[in-house]
Structure formats: structure tokens, C-alpha cells
Structure 1
């Protein structure tokens, strides 16, 4: 089995590489849209609590939809192909990004915010220079979750006319060829693990930088 799998990888390296790139491109497009929409929604929710409950509730409703059912409904509206897949990935990536942006901003120390106001910062300056940098590790954790979810959901893309590694998986299922199933599933799993690891390392670096900045901003205690 292993020898057959390695032989298949060698014979179809070009096709598998193209499918991997298609898979990555779909995921990146979906997550980029989720960042563009989700971060402003998270910021708005943190600033106005009345907005937080309906926004988070709607994102939760989208998240609990079975992925195949959601993609099927989107296909009825937007048709087959790349755009429908990206919209589905965008919707599935919204909740962790909105929620973590909201939580990250809420966790910022209020004394730091008051200090920024005290030195005359405008609300935008306070958000951009103080609150978002301190909340960034939590936002990155949401991005990490969204990336892993998106990589998995993207394997369903061939069912609605998309490309990616899922094409190899479903071809293998149709033909009852276990080698083709593994040839699509293993790179998809490795891609999810790689995304989780890389974003996790970035999250740790941001957390360390935030802690150093917080320590540097603490007043020095006078010595006796």
C-alpha cells in the first residue's frame, strides 16, 4: 500500500501540486474575506454590547450548519464553482475571527485604555495603537482556528464544482481507489497541521512581544 502510494505521488506530482495550490488559494481567499469583515464586526461588537449578542448569535448559527448543507444552499444561489466555495469558507471562518476579536479587545486592561485617553489619543488612535496590538494574540488564535476549519471544509469543494485536494479524495471514493483517497487526504491533513503550527508560532511571538510591552509600561517601584 505504501509503495503504491509513493508511486502514485511520483507519477502524479504535477497534478497533486496544482490541486494543492488551488486548495491553498481557496482557503486564503475565504479567510482574507473573513478578516476584512470579521475584524470590523468584532471591533463594533466590543464597542457596543447591544450589537455583540446578535452578531455573535448569527455567526454561531452559520457555524452550526453542516458544511455540505451550507455549500449546497450557496450553490443554489451562486451556482457552481470557485466563488461559491470561497463564500462558504468565508462564512465558516467568520465566527472564530469575530469572537476572538471581541474577546481580545474586551481583555485589554482598562487602565491602559484610560492612560491612552489621558495623553489625548483619539478613539481611532487608541484602537490602532493600543487596543488592537494588545488584542492581536487573541485575534491570531481565532485566525488559527479559522485556517484549520477552512482547510477541512475546502475538501468539499469538488461537490459544488470547485477544485483542490478534495477532487482526488472524491475521485478515489467514486472509483473505490484507496490510493487516490490517501493521495488527497494526506496532503490536506498536512496542510492543516502546517497552518496550525505556523500560526501558533506567530501567536506565541505576538504574545511574548505583548508581555514585554506590558512589562515596560509598568511604573518602576521606588527603592527604599
Structure 2
């Protein structure tokens, strides 16, 4: 195993970078989509309940099935991988953002309105900051799920460490097959841990001191 890692360290570093890049960029896009949609529906209880239901159902779709559908639409591996990863992340983040926005004290909204704040300023200055810890918790869970989906995306020629896992499993019993599968799996775990630590640090930097747990 040590020889395998040393001989392929440059390739492994590049694959890890690809994997992290795919997930981070997809996480940013998923956060924008999820939070935006949550903001649009959160004041309409029926729509919010419907969105939560759609999120629950959507997350039960098998990743292989979704990747197959995405590949049929986009025809190439990378866009299909991004679409699938963003899909799962956006659903999770939207659900948490809805919970966070619903938890904002109505009295605070009224106080902000009394101070002359319009809807946009209330949203940006009061509601989203107060909902941020719950939204960020959703981002952390989504990031871990997205890491796994990004690995499975190697099935449709997506970038990242998943290719090592599939390559090793397809050649099981052959030379370096076990090393490839184990290295790919452990690499995904390490990258997922590093991203989670980065999100924890982001939370400490961006969460208002008065509402930190």
C-alpha cells in the first residue's frame, strides 16, 4: 500500500483536488439555489410544506438512477455529475433554510419593521443571519452527502476519487486492485473531513457572536 501511494502521489493529489473542487463548487451553487427557494416559499405555509415534502421524496432517489437520467440529458459525464451533486445538496440546504427562517422570532420581524426596514433589509439584516446556523448545519450534512454522490459519479465518468474505487472493484483480484479501491475510499473520507472542518471554521467566522451556540 505504501509503495502504491508513493508511486501515484501526484495522481492521487490531482484526483483529490478534482473531487474537492467538484463538491465545493456544487455546494456553493446548491446553497444559492436552496436558500433562494426557501426565501421564496417560506412565507407561504402550503408551498413551504410542499417544498419540504418534495425534498424528502427527492432525497430517496437512488444516486445511480439520478446519474443515469442526468447523463441522458447532458450527454457528458462532468455536467451530469454536477447536476446530480447539486440536486441532492440543494434539497437538503433548502429544507434546513426553511427551518431556520421559520424559527426567526416574529417579534424581531415586527421590531425591524417598526424601525423602518423594508422586506429586503429585514431579510438580509435580520432573517438570514438568524437562520444561518441552521442553514450552515444543512450545508455540512449536504457536503458529506455530496462527497459520496461525487464518488458514485465516476460511474458516468465524473471527476475525482470515485474512479479509483470503481477501477479497483472492476479489477478485484488483479494487481493493485484492492489498493486502488481502498485508497479511493479513504481519500474521499479525508477530503470530506477537511471540508467539514472548513465549514466549521466558516461558521465561527460568519455566525453573529450573540447567537453562537
Structure 1 outlier segments of 4+, above 4 Å: 204-208
* Unmatched tracts of structure 2, length 5 or more: none
Which of 160, 164, 179 is residue 160 of structure 2 equivalent to? 164
Where 2:59 maps in the other structure, the secondary structure is helix
Is residue 129–residue 207 contact of structure 2 (8 Å, CA) maintained in 1?
Answer: no
Length-normalised TM-score, structure 2: 0.91
- Offset from partner CA, 1:21-47 (integer Å, 9 cap, x none): 111121122222211211111112212
Written as runs of structure 1 = structure 2, the 5 A alignment for 1:133-148 is 133-148=129-144
Structure 1 unaligned segments of length 5 or more: list them: 213-224
Equivalent residue for 1:30?
A: 26
| Pairwise CA distance, 1:148 | 0.5
The CA RMSD measured in Å over matched residues stands at 1.6
Q: When the two structures are aligned, how many residues end up with a matched partner?
A: 208
2:127 to 131, 134, 150: 131
Q: Distance in 2 between matches of 1:206 and 1:29?
A: 19
Considering only CA atoms, is the larger Rg found in Structure 1 or Structure 2? 1
Distance 1:41 1:120 in 2: 26
Does the CA-based 8 Å contact 1:137-1:204 persist in structure 2?
Answer: no
Distance in 1 (alpha carbons) for counterparts of 2:74 and 2:17? 23
Q: What does 1:148-159 correspond to in 2, within 5 Å?
A: 148-159=144-155
Structure 1 length-normalised TM: 0.87
Give distance in 1, aligned partners of 2:207 and 2:19.
30
Q: 2:183 maps to what in 1?
A: 183
